[in-house]
Amino acid sequence: METPQDPADGAAKGGRFVSRRRLLIGGAAVAGGAVLVRSSVRERPGRVVIPAAPPLRIDHVTVVDPRDGSRREDRSVVVGGGRITEVTDTAGGASGEGVRRVDGAGRFVVPGYNNMHSHALGAERPALVLAAMLAEGVTGFRQMSGSPEMLEDRADGRLPLGVHAPALLGMPGDLLMPFNAGSAEEAEEEVARQKEQGADFIKLILVERPVFFAAMEAAKARGLKVAGHLPPSISPLEAARAGFGSIEHFGAGDNLWIACSANFAALQARADTGLPVPSFVVDMPFAEDVFMSRMEKRLINPSAYTEPEAAALLRDALDSYDEARCRELARAFKAYGTWQVPTLVRLRTQELADAPEYETDPWLAHMSDAAVADWREATARFRSLPAATRETFRRAYDLRLRVVALWHEEGVPMLTGTDGQGKVPGQTMRQEFGELAKAGLSPLAILRMSTAAAAEYLGRADRMGLVAPGMEANFLLLDADPVRDVGNLTCVSAVVRAGHFLPLQELQAVMSQVGKG
């Protein structure tokens, strides 16, 4: 297989003294804007138990297979014990006593959607964000920022994951950064520690080049996938070769644009590949907490803090974009099994932050006054950037849509995710579906990314991603055919979560109630 020449192979650029612009641009959305400040004393939440759901039978529905779009009309979906027990002809099968029957005539049943990049548990009001996700059909999510405390709470059933919340599909421990992975040895120790703590995967953000490869090997030895951002010194091809599980937000830096440039060698030489934290800082007490606190507002929109040299590098990379190189890289992603989670809505709110629709986005009504003020401050700063810089970002976002289409054409495995935690408008799954459609993906492809693909990535195809006997009872009733139009994917009439039948009106009422907290 031919793969693009990799200018970073064998190189070891950068050290532990680094410029701040690489954090703001290359390290965009560290922790999704979450600030991981810990208290020495914490009050543990109470245990949450999802009660057993009564038996359920939904009749006269059309069941859609997300793998190929095939339909089975006039079916009954029977649920018991939190699982689908039958998918049968409505005319056949017996109900039995105590079974709740629902007439689903005219509705379409699909598996629940999976938001594979979320920070819902780090939101100001997690219950609100979780209920909102469920109301738009998300029955499972991957939490992309964790901690030892969160892992402990999950093990004890203390996370706020009741009936009106999606299922937690996976969570890491602490993010790998210079504070806990400043050397190869520290990275190996941290990976081992997180395995013991119960982490489902390792979330890697910004580490030195030798640390990256040490972390990859340590995770592989313990059966853990690595997901996250690409450090500035690591090319996408190197990450794929090393077995990186899923690249989030296109790598969250300029790595992809450099790799897809006809002038990749010259651009790589210009790139700032160091880390944003000087070595004498990382071992100081509370250094991580102070650092992340200082970055909180900047992470609302890292693009707003772009410096001229970073904007010039991005502009030159876009000017020299080489589709052939990008296709070769896409084929490498497919060959090495490197998944992509584009999170287009996260990047759109950064690179098109001055778009007028964000001023009237419905989510603004759910944000706290402080969060709205921070978002408006970041947006005002973005608007103050030179017009040429903002135009460069618009070009970058347009190219992102083209690259997503290219990835799809080349068979790169992809997942849906929003990166949202409620502090920025414009980051819902409905909006992500719309952006994927703008990129040229069909409604069926988007449905597959959100359901069967997530099950495949997680190694859970035997229990999720389809509406079939034996599968977990997490599925949706839609009012319109999801394969005909992308808008129909969000025409949610009801959600079945862990066997509980939840009409949309009930979920909206829950959102209204928890939104008052």
Q: Which tokens hold the place of 390?
A: 């903002």
Question: What is residue 306's predicted lDDT score, i.e. its pLDDT?
Answer: 93
Question: What is residue 22's predicted lDDT score, i.e. its pLDDT?
Answer: 33
Indicate the pairing of strand 100-103 with strand 108-111.
Answer: unpaired
Write out residues in the chain with pLDDT < 50, as ranges.
Answer: 1-37, 39, 280
| Amino acid letter, residue 366 | H
Question: What is residue 271's predicted lDDT score, i.e. its pLDDT?
Answer: 83
Q: Which tokens hold the place of 512?
A: 């209204």
Q: Pick from 508, 510, 418, 424: which is nearest to 124 by CA?
A: 424
Question: What is residue 42's predicted lDDT score, i.e. its pLDDT?
Answer: 72
Question: What is residue 84's predicted lDDT score, i.e. its pLDDT?
Answer: 97
Question: What is residue 402's predicted lDDT score, i.e. its pLDDT?
Answer: 98
Query: Residue written as tokens 């030892």?
Result: 148
Indicate the pairing of strand 492-497 with strand 100-103.
Answer: unpaired
Question: What is residue 283's predicted lDDT score, i.e. its pLDDT?
Answer: 62
Q: Which tokens hold the place of 166?
A: 């999606």
* Sequence-separated (6 or more) residues with CB below 8 Å from residue 286: none
Question: What is residue 286's predicted lDDT score, i.e. its pLDDT?
Answer: 59
- Are residues 276 and 20 in contact, defined by beta-carbon separation less than 8 angstroms? yes
Question: What is residue 295's predicted lDDT score, i.e. its pLDDT?
Answer: 67
| Amino acid letter, residue 430 | R
- Are residues 334 and 6 in contact, defined by beta-carbon separation less than 8 angstroms? no
- CA separation for the pair 82, 77 (Å, rounded): 13
The 3 state secondary structure assigned to 383-420 is: HCCCHHHHHHHHHHHHHHHHHHHHHHHHCCCECCCCCC
**For the chain, what percentages of helix, strand and coil (3-state, to nearest 5) are there?**
45, 15, 40
**b/e code 253-289 from CB counts within 10 Å (16+ = b):** bbbbbbbbbebbeebbeebbbbbbbeeebbeeeeebe
Question: What is residue 284's predicted lDDT score, i.e. its pLDDT?
Answer: 58
Question: What is residue 16's predicted lDDT score, i.e. its pLDDT?
Answer: 35
- Are residues 13 and 126 in contact, defined by beta-carbon separation less than 8 angstroms? no
